[in-house]
Structure 1
Amino acid sequence: MRPVTVVVSLPVADAERSLRFYRDGLQLADPEIDAGMVAFELPNLSLFLIERSEYAKYIEHAGVGPVTSVPGACIISCAIASTEEVDDILTRAKAAGGSIPGPAEDHDGSYMGYFSDPDGHVWELVVNARTEAAAG
């Protein structure tokens, strides 16, 4: 499989609150806003934040059963260019209303930090030799 675009759709309780968190807090740029949905186009990823009622319609249409909202049901991992940028993102996420379980730290040759958005979706930020080389 060689997808042209990858889309991650996250159910959110309040699209406006999530918009503020991602746009203002994490500084993701130029969202597209439609009734009940916010879309951010990132490098190699489209991130859709969909109000739970609308998300339920997509799930029903896909025929996969009722929606159960489990905070952190997926982890969104991002390769980051530097440890300083990881620390900055964690600071901004917390200031914007996110949760930080603890400071970023070294783990098996990678510098890793985690945060959750206001709806409990978990983000993992990773810096290692490969991500530093790609950024340089």
Structure 2
Amino acid sequence: MKINQIYVNLPVKDVAKTRTFWTKLGFAVNEQFSNENAVSIVLNEQSIFVMFLKEEFFKTFTNRPLAKGDTTQVLLAIGTDSREDLDYIIQTAVENGGSKYSEPQDNGWMYQSAFADPDGHQWEVMFADMSQFPQQ
């Protein structure tokens, strides 16, 4: 079996604010799956999508309570094509209502940093140069 797409679903308080935040980061919106209750952000065309669902709408898909406050349910990790792309995403996220929750880490072959979006979802951003991966 092979999985060919992933749809991450996350609750948000304000769909319009979320749309603005992610489009300022440079990501496209799939309008077919977007409305006043949801915005579909395309992280990787044809394969990776994030469905940001208004909290009330999100709750219609589960009978479990939403994680609130200082809890962490999931860490989301995304990879970039360059260190510059990573730095741009972090800087733009912070300038547009997100927050940085860790300082950049440079491991030589891998460079990473992290931000929280306006709803507190944590995003780990990394760039890896596998040609520099340490040989054992």
Structure 2, gaps ≥5 residues long: none
- 1:19 maps to which residue? 19
Give the 5 Å matches for 1:40-51: 40-43=41-44, 44-51=47-54
RMSD: 2.2
**TM score, norm. by length of structure 1:** 0.82
Whole-angstrom CA distance in 2 between matches of 1:93 and 1:67 = 24
Residues 52-84 of structure 1: CA deviation (Å, up to 9, x unaligned): 100000113xxxx33343654212211111111
Distance 2:36 2:19 in 1: 13
Within-5 A mapping of 1:8-87? 8-24=8-24, 26-32=25-31, 33-43=34-44, 44-60=47-63, 65-69=64-68, 72-87=72-87
**Offset of residue 40 of structure 1:** 1.6
Judge which range, 48-57 or 78-87, deviates more.
78-87
Q: Write the letter of the residue equivalent to 2:3.
A: P
Could you tell me how far apart the structure 2 residues matched to 1:119 and 1:109 are? 31
TM-score between both structures, scaled by the size of structure 2: 0.82
Matched position secondary structure for 1:34: coil
Higher strand share: 2
Contact 2:15-2:36 at 8 Å conserved across structures? no
Relative contact order higher in (CA < 8 Å, ≥ 6 apart): 1
**Bigger fraction of residues in helix:** 1
Task: Extract structure 1 runs of 4+ deviating beyond 4 A.
Answer: none
Q: How far 1:131 moved relative to its partner?
A: 9.1
| Change in 2 beyond 3 A, CA 1:42/1:101 | closer
CA distance in 1, matches of 2:43, 2:101: 25
Letter of the 1:74 counterpart? V
Q: Does the CA-based 8 Å contact 2:109-2:130 persist in structure 1?
A: no
1:87-125 CA deviation, whole Å, 9 max, x = no partner? 111110011110012432213731001001000111111
Q: Contact 2:67–2:73 at 8 Å: present in 1 too? A: no
- Tell me, which stretches of 5 or more residues in structure 1 are unaligned? none
Structure 1 contact 114–123 (Cα < 8 Å) conserved: yes
Identity of paired residues, percent? 24
Equivalent-residue separation in structure 2 for 1:123 and 1:13 (angstroms): 18
For the 8 Å contact 1:78–1:126, the answer to whether it is kept is yes
